[in-house]
Structure 1
Amino acid sequence: MAKSANALIKPDLLEWTRKDAGFGVEEAARKIGTTPERLAGWEQGDSKPTVNQLRKLAAAYKRPLALFYLPVPPEDTPAIRDFRRLPGTIFGSDSPQLRFEKRRAQFRRDTALELFPLIEHDPPEFPIMASLSDDPELIGVQIRDTLGITYADQVRRSRQRTSFNYWREAIEEIGVLVFQMWLVDNQEARGFSYSGSQYPVIALNSKDSLAGRTFTLLHELAHLTLREGGLCDLLEERQNPSLEGQTEIFCNAVAGATLVPRDYLLLESSVSSNAGSKWADDEIFDLAAKFGVSRETLLRRLLICGKTTADFYAIKRSEYLAEPAPSQRFPVPYRYRVINRSGRSFTKLILENYLRDNITGSDVAEYLEVQLKHLPDIEREVMGSATSIT
């Protein structure tokens, strides 16, 4: 077997890509099956990796091979503000998986901004604006009106998977790209967002529960209304909150008000007839199921609406947190996995450009991270037919 040729690349690119991916020398070397000393030698210019070794590095760092041949490192991915409050969070120490998901989301947004004018004039402008001084209840009403969400439709689609898809598709309809990340631990980040007047981005953690993802979706949408994307775990600082803490409190309040409007909640017979502050488990469950939200979200809304106490809420929340997470493992057809991760809006945009010969099949494979043989099934699901892609 012929020996692989050396890769004629600049050492600076090797070091930059490793650090940008979030790997130390030892971890990166272990991933590609070499020694830390050899990898350090490549980065210092003492020797060069072979092309095959460079391919392994590209796969480990989740970077295209061509990037390593650039004359200088590319510009860094725009930073997003870190709103996380989980104990032990070290700001700026994102895992390689989270770093990759942020790069992927930014790349897809850039791609959408580039491709949309090829089939239309300009991407839609994000239509909702808010500030921390606004009433979250009123912002919730505005969001529902903008999305076209009605109480009757919400109740009809209250099963958690149906509810999640209902909200996601409505948000995508106003020009927000909604992706799902699947490599990141849910304890590191439940979601993040990139703000912008056109094609802002929301990324959700697919390891979260469906009700959790729905709440995070609306929480991140609230961030977009503030024109302040961020990296979030949705925890709140209640004692002398910082500006970041105030923002998280506001976004949580907007998400709750949007999902469970005060007026509709107070009109529920079980709510209007309850003169006390305690609730039976089945009452909480039934109300949460009706609105398509978690029990904690429902109980929080009861607290905000003056229908329970902070002590009762704290007791029940502790009970919910102590429960084992339900298993969500079940087989999902490949086409649904692609659409769930990339979003229906982004997937449709890529397919429309492909069908108009604006991009190649290789481009589609890169943008959607799929093999071309799966495109007919994906097109059938997204666009209702598969007569053009074979």
Structure 2
Amino acid sequence: MEALITPEVLRWARERSKLAPEDVAGRLGVKPDRLDAWENGEAKPTFKQAQTLANVLRIPFGYLFLQSPPAEQFALPDLRTVGNAELRRPSVDFNDLVNDIIRKHEWYRDYRQQEGAEPLGFVGAYTIRSDPNEVARSIAEVLKIDEAMRAEASSWEDFLRLFIRQAEAAGVMVMRSGIVGNNTHRALSVDEFRGFAIADKVAPLVFINGRDAKAAQIFTLAHEIAHLWIGATGISNVELAQSQRQEARTEQFCNAVAAEVLVPAESLRRHWNYKVSIEANIGHLVRRYRVSSLVLLRRASDLLDVDQREIDEMYRREFARFRQRDSGGDEGGGDFYVTLRSRNGSLFTRAVINATFEGRTLYRDAARLLGVKVPLLRAVADKLELR
């Protein structure tokens, strides 16, 4: 029996999935021209084929019978500034990830309220009209981002780990993953987003796209934390936007704050060596501050008496290099339990485990929240020393 699906909806669902027609057709065991006929209304799939289509395209089966594609909106404000209209439509993976994180955030917020948690004073303590340097000083003071912390970090990953640990110690949920849930076949796209923040006074949250390079993840974390300090919830790509839209100004402001947090002006002036080349300085200082060469070049341009033509030329070279290379990101190493904690964040993971063993949360609900099977809950608690 033919399924009277709406061709326009099928085309929308297939484009939304970012799957090529050949890939969809292959999963259904039909030729691409057959799928094309369905999308053009020249033929209809069987009910079984329609059900398979819904599964492959990750949409509810009933969507295929709507008169027109459903209106989809981001669950969070979209502050991204890439000049690419295609990015304004969320991918299936992106939507599913955000919805999963929001579900976890709501659970954790309820948990914190039941614990009698007080609002965190730093969330929304400033506005976009504040001095970025003042906001940066506040962040550095609360999170203890200083020379001692930089000296303690022996690698990019180590610096990121310390940064996350100190943010969590202040009460910020930090989650870092490069995939949707635990599905390694659903990788997140760095081109689509790099991070987002939920500026909740009781349960502030930052998510970092773990597919990104380590230096980019570090800057994203600082950028999203700046979002919390000005009370601005939203999705970011952490680009240096030039638009005058309010969203772009918010991103520019958070970029400025993040740059000062990671590379304080006073510290950079003290450690810059005018006796050696700009390239030599950059090569040395990227390891001190654990930021990308692009961030350091921009800071040097803004703060130091350097040759702007040489800075601009090196910036163009470095920008081209960053655009060409793979992200090389990961989410905390090969250990299953460490990766699980990274994806869910230490605060959330500990809260779920505690609530479960205290009898306040069902084992099956806890397993669903953490993305593990019920028998693994005790192992998670033991391996991560959460009890």
Q: How does the TM-score come out when normalised to structure 2? A: 0.76
Once residues 383 and 359 of structure 1 are traced to their aligned partners in structure 2, the CA distance between those partners, rounded to angstroms, is 19
Answer with 97-106 or 148-157: which moved more: 148-157
Is 1:97 aligned to residue 93 of structure 2?
yes
In the TM superposition, 1:305-316 aligns within 5 A as 305-316=303-314
3-state DSSP class of the match of 1:98?
helix
3-state DSSP class of the match of 1:290?
helix
**How far apart are 1:157 and its partner, in Å?**
1.4
Is 1:179 aligned to residue 181 of structure 2?
no
**How far apart are 1:130 and its partner, in Å?**
1.9
3-state DSSP class of the match of 1:166?
helix
Q: CA RMSD in A?
A: 3.9
The 1:77/1:303 distance shift into structure 2, 3 A limit, reads closer
**How far apart are 1:346 and its partner, in Å?**
1.0
In the TM superposition, 1:74-93 aligns within 5 A as 78-85=75-82, 87-90=83-86, 92-93=88-89
Q: Verify the 8 A CA contact 1:132 1:247 in the aligned structure 2.
A: yes
The 1:228/1:58 distance shift into structure 2, 3 A limit, reads farther
Answer with 336-345 or 301-310: which moved more: 301-310
Q: Deviations over 1:69-95 (max 9, x none)?
A: xxxx9x97634133222x323364111
Identity %: 19
Is 1:196 aligned to residue 193 of structure 2?
no
Match of residue 348 from structure 2: 346
**How far apart are 1:369 and its partner, in Å?**
0.6
Q: Verify the 8 A CA contact 2:356 2:363 in the aligned structure 1.
A: yes
**Unpaired segments of 5 or more residues in structure 1?**
1-10, 41-45, 66-72, 386-390
Q: Deviations over 1:118-160 (max 9, x none)?
A: 4x21364252422222221221111011113332122211510
Match of residue 283 from structure 1: 281
Once residues 125 and 34 of structure 1 are traced to their aligned partners in structure 2, the CA distance between those partners, rounded to angstroms, is 55
**How far apart are 1:283 and its partner, in Å?**
2.3
Q: Deviations over 1:193-239 (max 9, x none)?
A: 2222221222211110111101001111112222222222222233x
**How far apart are 1:352 and its partner, in Å?**
0.9
The one-letter code of the counterpart of 2:132 is: P
> How many residue pairs were aligned?
353
Match of residue 267 from structure 2: 264
The one-letter code of the counterpart of 2:144 is: G
**How far apart are 1:280 and its partner, in Å?**
4.0
The 1:259/1:26 distance shift into structure 2, 3 A limit, reads closer
The 1:33/1:201 distance shift into structure 2, 3 A limit, reads farther
The 1:177/1:248 distance shift into structure 2, 3 A limit, reads same
Q: Verify the 8 A CA contact 1:126 1:176 in the aligned structure 2.
A: no
Q: Verify the 8 A CA contact 1:126 1:199 in the aligned structure 2.
A: no
Match of residue 300 from structure 2: 302
Q: Verify the 8 A CA contact 1:32 1:60 in the aligned structure 2.
A: no
3-state DSSP class of the match of 2:176?
strand
The 1:384/1:229 distance shift into structure 2, 3 A limit, reads closer
